[in-house]
Amino acid sequence: MTRLSIEPTDGPVGAFVSGIDLAETPDPAAAATLRTALGDHGVLFFREQSLTPEAHIAFAESLAPIVINRFFTPVAGYPNIAEVRKEADQKNNIGGAWHADHSYDQIPAMGSILVAKELPPMGGDTLFAGMYAAHDSLPDDIRERIAGLRALHSSRHVFGAGAAHLNDPDNDQGDRYGNAHAATQDVWHPVVIRHPLSGRKSLYVNPDFAVRIDGLPEAESDALLALLFEHARRPEHIYRFEWEPGSIALWDNRATWHLALNDYHGHRRLMHRITLAGVALESGESN
Ligand SMILES: O=C(O)CCC(=O)C(=O)O
Ligand SMILES: [Fe+2]
């Protein structure tokens, strides 16, 4: 039997896991090792896997309970698997701007397991940005300024009835999203969290969903968020993952952002995503 091995990427975030066949549900010891590695590296990549939807679900449940994304269209017959699909004749993709999934939830999802089903002949990579590195590399004065602040996260402008991009006649994402009426909750989270698995400080604001910093006039809040976003997406915080048939990415939304590159027009790309339940988030100031 090969042994589970975890090799950090040559970038600032992520690790490759080998020596495990995810078609067989990981036993509790292996699942615990994967969870710890996820907290440490932010995203885990697996190659040469072959997962049925049932095995995908069993793998997910070995790590955490599944949460259903209420805005994504599910895979037919599998209500707890979201379809991340772009057809050859579609222009827009899902997740094409920097974000952390579900940060608009009171108890945000831990992460997701994305399984490649059909890939374009080239392109369609996913970028991951490491939020431990983004936090730790901030100038001292900014780190001190944001410690203890809270930010408001919202899904209204992305998934809600009034979301500009969904009402844009040039945007062809309509069939992939639903439930706009569910995009009504907003939530405050610490700008810097203590990561629930690793205990490290992580920057927890993202460009898609963080809209306001508590206690600051709007212009100051906008400027501070813009500065944090600009800093976090610097190349030195990013790892670019190239998908191959059989690839799987398991990411942690509390330690990373991601962005799906939309550079394969004219080709289909189909992925299956299961989202894992998380825990309430604590401030980086807490012990
Ligand atoms: O398709 C991808 O690479 C990622 C899309 C995305 O943002 C997601 O599945 O959460
Ligand atoms: Fe996403």
In tens, the pLDDT along 135-146 reads 999 999 999 999
Q: What is the mean pLDDT of residues 237-250?
A: 98
What pLDDT score does 66 carry?
A: 97
Judged by DSSP in three states, 225 sits in helix
Separation CA 264–CA 27 (nearest Å): 38
Using the mean position of ligand 1's atoms as its centre, give its distance from the Cα of residue 287 in Å. 32
* Ligand 2 mean position, distance from CA 79 (Å): 18
pTM of the model: 0.93
The pLDDT of residue 70 is: 72
Instruction: Return all residues near 121 (Cβ < 8 A) that are at least 6 apart.
Output: 264, 267
Q: From the candidates 35, 40, 41, 101, which is the catalytic residue?
A: 101
Count Cα atoms within 13 angstroms, Cβ side, for 83.
19
> Which amino acids bring their CB within 6 angstroms of ligand 1?
84, 94-95, 101, 112, 114, 126, 258, 260, 271, 273
pLDDT of 2 reads 64
- Residue 255 DSSP code: T
Predicted confidence at residue 165, as pLDDT, reads 52
Say whether pLDDT at 162 is over 70. Answer: no
Ligand 1: which atom is nearest the Cα of residue 125? 3
pLDDT at 193 over 90: yes
On the question of pLDDT at 170 being above 70, the answer is no
Compute the average pLDDT of residues 177-185.
Answer: 58
Helices 28-41 and 53-63: angle between axes, nearest 10 degrees? 80
Domain boundaries, the chain: 5-280
Closest ligand, as measured to the CA of 114: 1
- Fold of the CATH domain 5-280: Double-stranded beta-helix (3.60.130)
Query: Residue-wise over 3-34: b if at least 16 C-beta within 10 A, else e?
Result: eeebeebebbbbbebeebebeeebeeebbebb
pLDDT at 120: 98
Q: What local confidence, expressed as pLDDT, does residue 175 receive?
A: 54
Q: Is the pLDDT of residue 58 over 80?
A: yes
Contacts of 40 (CB under 8 A, 6+ apart): 15, 197, 198
Q: Are 249 and 40 in contact (CB under 8 A)?
A: no
Q: Which residues contact 205 (CB under 8 A, 6 or more apart)?
A: 151, 191, 213, 225, 228, 229
Q: Rounded to an integer, what distance in angstroms lies between the CA atom of residue 104 and that of residue 184?
A: 10
CA distance 120 to 24: 27
Inform me whether the pLDDT recorded for 117 exceeds 80.
Answer: yes
Helix, strand or coil, per DSSP, at residue 78: strand
For the CA of 101, the nearest atom of ligand 1? 10
Residue nearest atom 7 of ligand 1, based on CA coordinates: 95
- Angle subtended at Cα 279 by Cα 105 and Cα 40, rounded to the nearest 5 degrees: 115
